[in-house]
Structure formats: C-alpha cells, structure tokens
Amino acid sequence: MDISSRIYTGVSKVVGPLMVIDGVEGIGYGEIAEIMLPGGETRIGQVLETTTTRALVQVFRGTRDLDTELTKVRFRGEPMKISLSSDMLGRTFDGSAQPVDGGGLVIPESIRDIYGSPINPAAREHPRNSIQTGISSIDGMNTLVRGQKLPIFSGAGLPHNLLASQIARQAKVTGQKEKFAVVFAAMGITYEESAFFIREFEESGALERTVLFLNLADDPAIERIITPRLALTTAEYLAFDKGMHVLVILTDLTNYCESLREIAAAREEVPGRRGYPGYIYTDLASLYERAGRIRGREGSITQIPILTMPDDDITHPVPDLTGYITEGQIVLSRELHRKGIYPPVDILPCLSRLMQGGIGQGRTRADHAEVKNQLYSAYARGVRLKSLVAVMGEEGLTPLDTMYLRFCDRYETDFINQASYEDRSFEDTFSIAWDLLSLLPRSELKRISQEYIDLYYHGEEGGVCKGP
C-alpha cells in the first residue's frame, strides 16, 4: 500500500489515553499508529477498535498536546514489533524499547511481534530442573523450577526488591554451567528502586548479562502495557533462539493492571471486580504463560513477577488472578518483617506447584518432599498454638505443645531467617530442617518414612532437645 495514503488528519476525538480518527480506510486491528503532533514530536499508538471508516487508538506516551486539527496519524500496517539481537545484553531501554543508555539502536537479528503467539501445549516440556536460590524458605519449602512462573506477593515497604535481587544473584542449577541471562522490566517503579536493581546487577557482575526495560513512575502509564511484552519477547528470543536460561523479573504488576483499568475506564467498558476490566485474567495470562520450556530447545524462561498487594489484601483482583495463573506464589509477611526476619516469607500461604517434579532423589534429596510436608504441618500447628497462647496464656499447654511452640520460633529465626548475602546449598537447608525436626519427638514425625528418620533424626527420644 502507498505510504502517503495511510496518513490521516481526521482526529475527531481525544479522551484520556484514547483518540478517534475518522475517514480512515482499511485499518487493521492491533495495528501501530505513529502520531505526529503539531510540535513535531512523534508518539506511538495502537488500534483498539477498527471499523470501515473509523479507528480507536490508544496512545502510549499520553495524549497531551494532541489537537484535532493539525495532528497527523500514519498507520504502519503491522502490529507492534521489536528489533531483537543478542547484543541487547548489557543494554538499558525505556518502556518502549528505545535505548536510554547512550548507546545506538539495536541492529536487529530478528524482528518480532511483541504479542507473540501462544506456545502450543503439545510443545511444552514439563519443567523439572530445580533451581537452587540459596534461600531456605524457597529451596526447602517452595522450590523454584526452571521454566516456572513464581510471583512474589508483597506489600508496600516490604523487602521484595532485596529478595528478587538475591534470587537473581544466587539462582543456579547445581552441577550445571549454562548460558544465563536476566531480563528486567520495570513498570511504574521509582527511580530509586530501579537504581537499586541496576546497582545490584552491577555488583554481582550480572549487568552484562542483563537487558533492562525501564518504565519508571514518571513515565507514561499507558506505555506500561507494552513494557512487559517487549521484555518477554526479548526473553523468548534469548531463550528459544539463543539457548539461554532467562530469568525475567517483572515489577510491579499492580501498576500494569492500573494502566489496563485506566484504558478500560476511558473506553467506558463494563467494569468487573474493583473496576478492573473483565478480561484482566486473559490479559495477565498472556504475560505469565510466556514462561516455560519447549521440547527439544535448549533455553528456558523463568518468571518472577513482583506485585504489591494493596493493603496487604491477597484477595485483591491482581494477586488473586495472578495466583490462579502462576505456578504458586511467594507471599511476604509484614508481621515477620516487623520481627526483623529476612526474607519475611509467610510460609503457610506460599506454594510452588512445580516443586513435586523438581525434587527428590537425584534432583535435590530423597527426603525432600516428606521433610517439607512435616515442616509445613509442624509449623502450621505451632502457629495455631501461638494464636491460642495469645488469648489464653501458656498455662494449660501440654509439654508437647511447648515443644511445638519452641519449634515454631526456631523455625522462623533459624530456617526462614538468613542474611541477604547468605547462599545456602540444598544440603545446608536440609541440615537446618533436620536440626529443627529433631526438636520434636520422633513419634510426631508422621509424614516422614522410617528410613529417613533413622538416617537424619538426631533428637533424643522423648524430644528433649540438645544444643542451644
């Protein structure tokens, strides 16, 4: 098609992040529009709805300064694409994939649609390689597996960034040396937060293996809708074309959803829960489901999305829908944080759905699953007793109850708690776990087979505990 014929001036309406162009012809759904402002600036937009003569466009960098007289719109005739190259490693881009590190444009090895296509379920390989993050509360209780999507549910003021950077720094598959890369997408986080990540990557030497896409808090909100897609398209290229194991950190998904809501409101769509649009599940799934492994290909995409739960409410639509899509979640607790425990992982609501396939003999250790189950049930019992003690006081507790209370405290201070630079091996984690289980009487370990108890249990019969 002749390029000039696809330039229009018929902007008839501008509202919020949206604009309507009349008198157009043959505009495709999802097509990219270049909007040429009277001042000479060019912005990018995307077609949300198209009819025979009219197109509705969302403008990624905002509609300020648009007018209905002089503004010109050129339609590119193709959906949003990104230039990809392995030279992107070590580079920093803004939320629309423009370089902001002073370097030149990426010389493309490949150009791809940022929306991608769904991975054929028949092509997926079930993830089974457990990643050692060096963090006991994850490795021991909710093991991360290569190709998994495991979000961190956090709250304002909790150390989720510290935890994410510790995972990025320490994550490894034991006994394997493979090509590793980090893709980091910031959506509406502050300059300070993003500077923290960059510094962390720099110090650990990971920066040269990292691609950063930064849409910061003062960048246009609507751009946040494409930022994670740019990051994931890059990750797919590095993983499935270049055979790298890519860790994708997306933060903060709550801001992303706010942007979706903003557009839905501007379009006057029927709102679902808390004003979020009805398609938010599908939309989030189109991000999260881009994690995984593909049969016969080297690389993998592991996702750690971070989201802050408004008012620490896990039933808020963003964490709720995320939890339904991702393969588990790591939940941070304000209470543990106040107690000074780092990482303040609230073990009970945490889950790793892919753990089962990644642990056990030959992967982590044969007793892993049973130890995990026993720790869970013992800790849950301790927590329940604690809430009872808070009301009733300690009298009336049986000696066994006291043991559980002691276990519960030690579990938090010795097992969950660790330094932000402490890198524990799976063996370290299990050895702490057995130290703690040995605080309980042997007969209480109902979820562990006799053979493992004989091998690892070192408490005195009757549960009198030794050591400090």
Partner 1 sequence: MVIDEKRDVMDTEIRNGTIIRVTGPVVEADNMSGCRMYESVKVGNAGLIGEIIILEGDRATIQVYEETTGLVPGEPVVRTYLPLSVELGPGLIGTMYDGIQRPLEEILKQSGDMIERGSSAPALNRTKKYKFRPLVKPGEKVGPGDRLGCVRELVAIIHYILVPPGVSGTVESIVGEGEYTITDSIAVLLSGSEKKSLTMVQRWPVREPRPVQERLDPIEPLLTGQRIIDTLFPLARGGTAAIPGPFGSGKTVVQQQLAKWVNADIIIYIGCGERGNEMADVLEEFPTLKDPRTGYTLSSRMVLIANTSNMPVAAREASVYTGITIAEYYRDMGYHVALMADSTSRWAEAMREISGRLEEMPGEEGYPAYLSSRLADFYERAGRVSLIGSGRHEGSISVIGAVSPPGGDFSEPVTQNTLRIVKVFWALDADLAYQRHFPAINWLMSYSLYSGIAGSWWENYVGPGFIQIKQEMMEILQRENELEEIIRLVGPETLPESDRLLLLKAEIIRESYLMQYAFDEFDTFTGPKKQYHMLTSIFSFFKRAETAIETGVTVAQLREHPIVERFARMGSASPEEEESLFEAIDKDIKSIRELKGMV
Residues 196-235 that bind partner 1 (CB under 8 A): none
Please return the burial class of 87, using the count of CB atoms within 10 Å of its CB with bins 0-12, 13-18 and 19+.
middle
Q: Cβ–Cβ contacts within 10 Å for residue 468, how many?
A: 4
Integer-rounded Cα radius of gyration of the chain: 25
| Alpha-carbon dihedral 195, 318, 115, 61, rounded to 10 degrees | -60
CB of 9 to partner 1, least distance (A): 20
Instruction: Find the binder of partner 1 among 81, 146, 209, 290 (CB under 8 A).
Output: 290
Per CB under 8 A, 51 contacts partner 1: yes
SS3 439: coil
Residue of 16, 79, 90, 99 interacting with partner 1 (CB under 8 A): 79
Residue closer to partner 1 by CB (options 114, 206) is 114
Distance from C-alpha of 270 to C-alpha of 380, rounded to nearest angstrom: 41
Nearest to 319 by CA among 257, 240, 406, 268: 257
Site for partner 1 in 12-31 (CB under 8 A): 25-31
DSSP tag of 86: G
Question: Which residue do the tokens 């703690």 mark?
Answer: 436
CA 424 – CA 420 distance, rounded (Å): 11
Please report whether residue 301 would count as binding partner 1 according to CB under 8 A: no
- Residues 6 or more apart from 31 whose CB is under 8 A from it? 46, 47, 50, 75, 76, 77, 78, 79
Q: CB under 8 Å to 252, separation ≥6 — which residues? A: 187, 188, 189, 306, 307, 308
Residue ranges in 339-398 that form contacts with partner 1 under rule CB under 8 A:
348-349, 351, 353-354, 356-357, 369, 373, 376-377, 380-381, 388, 391-392, 395-398
Q: What is the 8-class DSSP label of residue 313?
A: -
Contact (Cβ atoms closer than 8 angstroms) between residue 132 and residue 169: no
Q: State the nearest-atom distance from the C-beta of 190 to partner 1, in Å.
A: 29
| Subset of 112-171 contacting partner 1 (CB under 8 A) | 113, 115-127, 147-148
Q: Which span sits near partner 1 by CB under 8 A: 43-51, 181-189, 195-203, 242-250? A: 43-51
Closer by beta carbon to partner 1, 190 or else 443: 443
Binding status of residue 323 toward partner 1 by CB under 8 A:
yes
Q: Which residues contact 219 (CB under 8 A, 6 or more apart)?
A: 94, 95, 188
Residue closer to partner 1 (CB basis): 169 or 368: 368
Residues 407-436 binding partner 1 (CB under 8 A) are: none
Number of residues that bind partner 1 (CB under 8 A): 85
Contact with partner 1 (CB under 8 A): which of 95, 140, 151, 317?
A: 317
Instruction: Tell me the H-state helices in 174-327.
Output: 191-203, 227-236, 253-266, 280-288, 317-325
Query: How near is the Cβ of 253 to partner 1 at its closest, in Å?
Result: 15
Site string for partner 1, 260-279 (x = CB under 8 A): ---------xxxxx---xxx
Single residue of 329, 418, 429, 438 touching partner 1 by CB under 8 A:
329
189: part of which helix (H) or strand (E)?
strand 180-189
Compare residues 45 and 323 and give the one whose CB is closer to partner 1.
Answer: 323
Q: What minimum distance in Å lies between the beta carbon of 119 and partner 1?
A: 6
Nearer to partner 1, 90 or 441 (CB): 441
Q: How far is the CB of 347 from partner 1 (least distance, A)?
A: 9
Report if residue 451 touches partner 1, rule: CB under 8 A. Answer: no
The single residue among 20, 48, 162, 366 that binds partner 1, judged by CB under 8 A, is 48
C-alpha to C-alpha distance for 225 and 211, rounded to whole angstroms:
18
Of 169 and 293, nearer to partner 1 (C-beta) is 293
For partner 1, which is the closer residue by CB, 65 or 125? 125
Region of 272 please: left (phi>0), alpha (psi -120 to 50) or beta.
beta
Does 294 sit near partner 1 (CB under 8 A)? yes
Closest CA to 244 of 399, 84, 401, 118: 84
Q: 10 Å Cβ neighbour count for 83?
A: 15
Selected binder of partner 1 within 281, 334, 366, 457 (CB under 8 A): 281
Q: Which is nearer to partner 1, 16 or 99 (CB)?
A: 16
CB-nearer residue toward partner 1: 293 or 424: 293
Applying CB under 8 A, the span of 248-256, 285-293, 404-412, 418-426 interacting with partner 1 comes to 285-293
